[in-house]
Amino acid sequence: MKQEYRVGEKLPAERDIAQMLDVSRTLVREALIMLELEGLIEVRKGSGVYVINAPQSALMEDQFTGGDDIGPFEMLQARQLLESNIAEFAAMQATPNDIIQMRQAVDRQIAELAQGEGSQDGDKEFHLSVARATQNSVLVEMLLESWQRRDQSPMWKQLHARVHNTNYQHKWLKDHSEILMALQRKDPAASKRAMWQHLENVKQKLFELSDVDDPHFDGYLFNSSPVVIEQKQ
């Protein structure tokens, strides 16, 4: 089924678009994000989604393929699966110097928060220092690639452009300290749980800060994971 909309017209609700195209609502949300980034539509809060520019050739139809970008919550779910296992392995491999590098990353976070900087370099450095503690360059490269995809993702930037309160970073700093303590004790199970819980906290906070009715939201499909972390007996 093909439907054309003129400039100024309102698009159907996302559930209706999903039914018409026989695709998931998550795919529709991500497609609408890409259409907005292209300047083809405008999301008017409380009103709906409107066409503001005519697409070139078949651009309107092509956007529903989802492109190369992926949603932020899908990224977080992948990181949760990857990094919890990295932390578990790092606990068995970490050297005293690795622990020092993690502490320095935490100290950098503390300094950034105290100075009110928007930078999150300490956050990234902490996660990379955990990966480096595995002594496995492939795992480090996999983590770097996930961060690069996040930094280059228009949808991730779109979400964070709507987040102005940074108080949650203090909670994430505490999470990092708990991960560090578990790694310092060389406790693989505790390290895995702590990293898993940290990224769960990140995911749930972004879910909470998001407008769940906004087309710029992909959290419904990825706000939970089928993987269950074993609880300590």
Span 109-164, pLDDT tens digits: 999 888 875 567 889 999 999 999 999 999 999 998 888 888 887 777 766 665 55
Q: Please answer whether residues 146 and 156 qualify as being in contact, where contact means their C-beta atoms are separated by less than 8 angstroms.
A: no
| Burial state string for 37-72 with b = 16 or more CB within 10 A and e = fewer than 16 | beebbebeeeeebebeeebeeeebeebbebeebbbb
Token digits of residue 226 = 């089928």
Q: What is the pLDDT of residue 27?
A: 73
User: Which structural domain, as residue segments, surrounds residue 44?
Assistant: 14-65
- Do 211 and 142 share a domain, yes or no? yes
Instruction: Give the whole-number percent of the chain exceeding pLDDT 90.
Output: 32
**Residues 86 and 190 placed together within one structural domain of the fold:** yes
Q: Are residues 141 and 51 in the same domain?
A: no
Is residue 233 in a domain? no
Distances (CA, A) of 80 to 20, 149, 174, 189, 192: 33, 15, 17, 15, 10
pLDDT for residue 230:
53
pLDDT score, position 7: 78
Tell me: pLDDT of 232 over 70: no
Spatial distance between the Cα atoms of 87 and 67, rounded to a whole number of angstroms: 32
Do 111 and 209 lie in one domain? The reply is: yes
If asked whether residues 40 and 141 sit together in one domain, one would say no
* pLDDT, tens only, 39-75: 788 888 778 888 887 655 444 344 433 445 677 778 8
- What is the value of pTM for the model shown? 0.64
Position 233 pLDDT exceeds 70: no
Q: Report whether 29 contacts 70 (CB < 8 A).
A: no
Whether residues 41 and 134 fall in one domain? no
CA gap 43, 134 in Å, rounded: 44
pLDDT at 92: 97
Q: Report the interhelical angle of 121-132 vs 72-93 (nearest 10°).
A: 50
pLDDT at 219 over 80: no
Residue 219 C-beta-side C-alpha neighbours within 13 Å: 19
Separation CA 122–CA 41 (nearest Å): 36
Among candidate residues 43, 65, 87, the one where a domain is terminated: 65
Phi/psi at 177 (5° precision): -65, -40
